[in-house]
Amino acid sequence: MDALRIRGGRGKPLNGRVRISGAKNAALPILCATLLSDGASRLRNVPRLRDIETTSALLRFLGRDVTVNAPEVHVAAGSDVRPEAPYELVKQMRASVLVLGPLVARFGRAKVSLPGGCAIGARPIDQHLKGLEALGCSIRLERGYVLAEGPGGGGRLKGAEIMFDVPTVGGTENLMMAAALAKGRSTLVNCAREPEVEELGRILNKMGAEVNGAGTDVIHIVGADRGELAPFDHAIIPDRIEAGTYMIAAAMTEGGDVLVEGAELHDLEVLAMKLRSAGVEIESEGHNIRVRRLGELRGVNITTAPHPGFPTDMQAQFLALMATARGESVISETIFENRFMHVPELQRMGASVALRGNTAVVQGVSRLYGAAVMATDLRASASLVIAGIVADEETEVRRIYHLDRGYERIEEKLQGLGVDVERVKGAEA
């Protein structure tokens, strides 16, 4: 398995420019939305990532014709449709469950493997299923699979009012796609408000559904009055989590000065506020964000929350930043029950962190030490890379296939900022 080897140190500030790729978590649902149409759709600004390959493999399995020529992906109707997402593909990537809504809306039935738990928590899909039932689906769970069928044994879904018990990104997206082809009007309440949900709303509108309110907590959808939606051509929004990760990387060292190119500050307001409180300068320069750290870092508290709160996908990286800040910072994780796997690894690098339930109390230390470390999820792995940037001597972050799921060419982008980092092929697991 590949590893990243980083020779870091406090005396090596990051400098230069880094260009942000398209958003993974916007591209995945949009790829699934292509199932709602038989025409040829074109996605631009798609990141080169393993999760995109996995989704493409899933769409091919379902009978679509997919050509990945990053940063473009073309999807068209292929041979016969097989509305079935097998365990082998879904277990590689939970977001595969996003084919459920489009499949049952378009083809009247779907068989999709239950994703099961993952490294960061149990992650149930009860809200997705409850919403589909409200749209008239009958749902059965059988031998690890969800079997969904439209009304009357495969008929068209019917618009409904759906109230989510918790704001769920994937649940909101699945139901938006299903409602876009349902008969009549749907109202989704207590929706996730993430920019990626808003982006999916734009796509469904391009495809001919009528979606209002995506990006707020109430979404109104009038399903298209025909059996399928129109194809689309669309450039994906920039990845705010990738941008935020480089903003934090820039802030790790005194003297850091980085222009994060193609990133929108309004999607990262809370992170920017927290970085400013920690002593980092953040400015919007057109479609770029300039990050400068001139002096010492101060400890700052964060609590993760659904958008527009502090993103859970930035928690691990921010914790790594706080590891060398002056004073104490209290980091609370409220979205996932098991999202502190980076903590024991950061402790091995010299970080002082006490875990109490869903809260980590960090006492900043003056230096971190390089070590061999690994993590079992994407953002935790990113936090170890960030810690490696400032740690004395050498850090080897192992099992980086997690990083390859969500960060395009991370070592090249970091090298461009002056980080001494290399990918080591087939390093010890």
Which residues bind to ligand EPU, rule: CB under 6 A?
25, 28, 94-95, 121, 123-128, 166, 168-171, 192, 196, 312-313, 335-336, 378-379, 406
Q: How far is the CB of 43 from ligand EPU (least distance, A)?
A: 15
Choice between 52 and 360, CB closer to ligand EPU: 52
For residue 110, list its beta bridge partners.
148
Q: What residue number has its CB nearest to ligand EPU?
A: 170
Q: How far is the CB of 213 from ligand EPU (least distance, A)?
A: 18
Q: How far is the CB of 123 from ligand EPU (least distance, A)?
A: 5
Choice between 127 and 288, CB closer to ligand EPU: 127
Choice between 197 and 259, CB closer to ligand EPU: 197
Q: How far is the CB of 113 from ligand EPU (least distance, A)?
A: 15
Q: How many helices (H) and strands (E) does the chain have?
A: 15, 24
In 90-214, at which residue ranges do the beta strands (DSSP E only) sit? Answer: 109-113, 138-142, 145-149, 161-163, 185-189, 210-212
CA angle 185–186–192, rounded 5-degree value: 150
Sign of the torsion formed by the C-alpha atoms of 164, 167, 170 and 176: positive
H-type helices in 40-136, by residue range?
A: 50-61, 87-90, 100-107, 126-134
Catalytic site residue from 32, 118, 137, 191: 118
Give dist(CA 429, CA 421) in Å, integer: 18
Residue reference for tokens 């400890």? 299
Write the DSSP string, 344-357: HHHHHTT-EEEEET
Choice between 89 and 368, CB closer to ligand EPU: 89
Give dist(CA 60, CA 54) in Å, integer: 10
Mapping DSSP to helix (H, G, I), strand (E, B) and coil, where does residue 320 land? helix
Choice between 18 and 98, CB closer to ligand EPU: 98
Q: Is the omega angle on the peptide bond into residue 71 within 30 degrees of 0, that is, cis?
A: yes
Q: How far is the CB of 146 from ligand EPU (least distance, A)?
A: 12
118 tagged catalytic: yes
Catalytic residues: 118
